Homo-oligomer: A and B are copies of this chain.
Amino acid sequence: MPSVAKNSPVHSSLCAALGYQFRQPNLLQRALTHRSYAAEHYEKLEFLGDSVLGCVIASYLIAAYPNLAEGELSRLRSNLVKEETLVILAQQLDLGRCLKLGEGELKSAGFRRPSILADALEAIFGAVFMDAGFAAAEQIVLKLYVPYLANIDLKTLGKDAKTLLQEFLQSKYIALPTYTVLATEGLAHEQVFQVECAIPALKIITRGRGASRRHAEQQAALAAYQSLGKK
């Protein structure tokens, strides 16, 4: 993954995918530069872009869902701006190909690391804001988010699987699930957790795996939630 020169075909195709031409291409350059590569890196633009994104999504949701309460809007937004969502958008833009990373990061495939992809995408939002103001950044964000904004599930309101499962059980007066860590595998910095979710009253036992206990619990809860329909 060699580094990419300014105004390269890779940058041009990114700009085409974004539907935006930078007046100051050095801003895009910076948004794509990791701190391992150069002193002029994306962290400040990411700081700005994160709040631009939050503001754009808040403003969209308030206008689009006038009947939702603040807590529901807030939960929807968290779901839309979380790393997992940003990573998918970054992958669709093929952002990994455009990143400038130091050698160490290149070797450890930093261009595929979720946190780097998500941060660089936020930095791009910040770069567009600095390049042409709020309205331009808003347009880019909303365009990228169209598939997500069009498919907001008002029934779940972006709730996670554990919450959905708990709410369902409470509504039926069924005792809440227990989560048990069955095993942890791997070295300290790349552990995999295996968690069991048990709902004895419904004879449901499911398992989940993930890079954190929380993630493994969510996976197990999701499997349990999905199996409810079959009971």
B-contacting residues of A (Cβ < 8 Å)? 43-44, 46-48, 51-52, 54-55, 58-59, 62, 69-70, 73-74, 129-130, 133-135
A59 CB contacts on chain B under 8 angstroms: 48, 129-130
Please state if A55 and B51 are interface contacts (CB–CB under 8 Å): yes
Majority secondary structure of chain A interface residues (helix, strand, loop or mixed): helix
Distance, CA A47 to CA B74, complexed state (A)? 8
A62 CB contacts on chain B under 8 angstroms: 44, 47-48, 130
Q: A44-B62, A47-B62, A51-B58 are in contact. List 11 more A-B contacts (CB 8 A).
A: A44-B70, A48-B55, A48-B58, A48-B59, A48-B62, A51-B55, A54-B54, A55-B134, A59-B130, A62-B130, A134-B134
* Number of this chain's copies in the complex: 2
Please state if A70 and B46 are interface contacts (CB–CB under 8 Å): yes
Please state if B48 and A51 are interface contacts (CB–CB under 8 Å): no
A43 CB contacts on chain B under 8 angstroms: 69-70
Please state if B54 and A73 are interface contacts (CB–CB under 8 Å): no
A55 CB contacts on chain B under 8 angstroms: 48, 51-52, 54-55, 134
Distance, CA A129 to CA B58, complexed state (A)? 11
Please state if A58 and B69 are interface contacts (CB–CB under 8 Å): no
